[in-house]
Chains A and B, each alone.
Chain A
């Protein structure tokens, strides 16, 4: 069966779900299902999907992922020490989670549990952002909603813990639909790390959707690390709404999956601040897409998009950035920048930065560059006695470092440098382990 068939006409609306939930949920699923059946998977004719082709995905046979074979433990490296909620093929796994010691003011729980026990916590939020005809994958996810992760931060709560959500994928030809809901109450502050990775190198399909509400004056730092299996497909969308003076600092690292996309759709309230930095590292025949749409609907908001990618072998990178400034959104400050570093003649990068402006008192700009490593810089390093591969690692690392440096959370910067370093080691045989924050002149 093709993806359109299995997810569309013939699919069981509940799959192997164990949760009924409240009546409104059934309605939400049903509407989403009808919507997906009407459109099918996105096609390249749609502007938003111009550079990422899902024809192969639609032609492959998929089965709903089983949630019964979760591993018995996480590696220490992944587990970390702080509070953590783990999903396995989209289902909450309590024994792989650590929710003890969660700060007052933070609720982190499985979506199914929340729907069963306290549906009123989320009935004003779930399914409210990730809707619309232009979002067939979100509809597909919603049609399959039965579990996921919910994070609720009480108004005014300053959470100094870093909260982790781990999504594990497993199973060849297995499809699952992780769902994440974040409600950051007015004036709160929190850092969330979302980590996607495999149990083993299987060709699974993760269709992830996050709905993120940032309250008035609230601050959310959201770091997403996509390290899926190298033969997997990872399609993710984060739908974000920022209330007045809300602040969202997003960072996305994409290094896994054969086909991957992270899409952000954000709507900004008055004087809101939305900063998205992203890095992608592609090799082999990977296709890594970062698509960001930011809507300035009220005055005085700021948005930043800064995306950097490194591509080698036959890897393909895509950046689509669109900043829309609506009529009432005067004093908007919106900037986009995309830079790609191509390390091989076969690597390809497509960029489509766009501004659409209907207000007259705004400051907006965009830029995109593509290039190879600078020969001047290589010579400079080598002329100081640094060997060629080390010099390469240093310069590529430095290129990526410029977006990592935008992350506020210092431990996350360190963790991301380690991931970039691992990738660079595989590429160059040399460590990228310069200490930028920590040792030097501290």
Chain B
């Protein structure tokens, strides 16, 4: 059974149709990439799957592990194993990175019927994962994302993903705003999370992230639908020829 199964999904924001019959199936262990020009609906797809307010599904279906996502609230989807790494992580003054992460991890543990982790145990748990992503204790202690560089924010997103161990991770333009070193750290973090049970959906404009995270499938999205699907070789073709032929067809 597919991990994520999206069928003929239509969605709109404030009366404007953005997704126009999108279908996508991601199996366990697979990494899919969606590429597409600006305005093709890539971020709308990620927010719609995450359940954000204002993204209204008008028809079609989306299932995670055979469970209907559309009827679930944002936090229920997250606890069911869907993780969205944001393109623009939000700054939250007054909440330290550690407190935020511990609250999130404990929300998942509670959902699974496990005891919450206390502060000391959590520090041990998170510190090892943070070090691998080049995240210092100082960053963990600072208010979440406040004053972080673009690269620091994205590394922190990957740290959250590492701590929450999702079934399906969606990375929404995680490469935007990253220099090449930060991209390598982020890509390595993502690659470390690849596993036979986990699916990944990498949304990006550019080839460069996909040089480091080799996808199993590449989809081209135009005007709210997937118009072409191929293997890794499609990335090179898009980089060379752009989206012109798909835009013309749409």
Binding site for B on A (CB under 8 A): 374-377, 379-388, 390-391, 394-395, 397-402, 405, 434-436, 438-441
- Contact: B164 with A401, CB < 8 Å? no
- Contact: A387 with B107, CB < 8 Å? yes
- Contact: A385 with B92, CB < 8 Å? no
Considering the chains assembled together, what is the distance between the CA atoms of A425 and B95 in angstroms? 17
Does B75 lie at the interface of the complex (its beta carbon under 8 Å from any beta carbon of A)?
A: yes
Considering the chains assembled together, what is the distance between the CA atoms of A380 and B103 in angstroms? 13
Residues of B near A380 (CB, < 8 A) are 86, 89-90, 92
Given contacts A379-B74, A383-B50, contact A436 B104 (CB under 8 A): no
* The residue from A390, A394, A440 contacting B123, defined by CB atoms under 8 A apart: A440
Residues of B near A377 (CB, < 8 A) are 90, 92
Considering the chains assembled together, what is the distance between the CA atoms of A380 and B50 in angstroms? 10
Residues of A near B75 (CB, < 8 A) are 382-383, 385-388, 391
Which of A379, A405, A438, A440 has most B Cβ within 10 Å?
A440
Query: How many residues of B are in contact with the other chain, CB < 8 A?
Result: 40
Considering the chains assembled together, what is the distance between the CA atoms of A242 and B78 in angstroms? 54
Residues of A near B89 (CB, < 8 A) are 380
Residues of B near A401 (CB, < 8 A) are 94-95
- Contact: A385 with B99, CB < 8 Å? no
Closest to B99 in A: A434
Closest to B137 in A: A441
Does B141 lie at the interface of the complex (its beta carbon under 8 Å from any beta carbon of A)?
A: yes
Considering the chains assembled together, what is the distance between the CA atoms of A374 and B98 in angstroms? 21
Does B53 lie at the interface of the complex (its beta carbon under 8 Å from any beta carbon of A)?
A: yes
Interface string of B115-127 (1 = CB under 8 A from A): 0001110110001
- Contact: A395 with B107, CB < 8 Å? no
- Contact: B107 with A384, CB < 8 Å? yes
Given contacts A402-B94, A441-B123, contact A382 B103 (CB under 8 A): no
- Chain A: minimal CB distance from B49 (Å): 11
- Contact: A398 with B141, CB < 8 Å? no
Q: A385-B75, A401-B94 are in contact. List 12 more A-B contacts (CB 8 A).
A: A379-B90, A381-B92, A382-B73, A383-B75, A384-B160, A385-B107, A386-B103, A387-B107, A388-B73, A434-B103, A438-B119, A439-B120
* The residue from A376, A387, A436 contacting B96, defined by CB atoms under 8 A apart: A436
CB-contacts of B4-19 with A (<8 A): none
Interface string of B92-136 (1 = CB under 8 A from A): 111110111011100110010000001110110001000000000
Considering the chains assembled together, what is the distance between the CA atoms of A61 and B120 in angstroms? 56
- Contact: B94 with A384, CB < 8 Å? no
* The residue from A391, A434, A440 contacting B141, defined by CB atoms under 8 A apart: A440
* The residue from B86, B104, B111, B119 contacting A439, defined by CB atoms under 8 A apart: B119
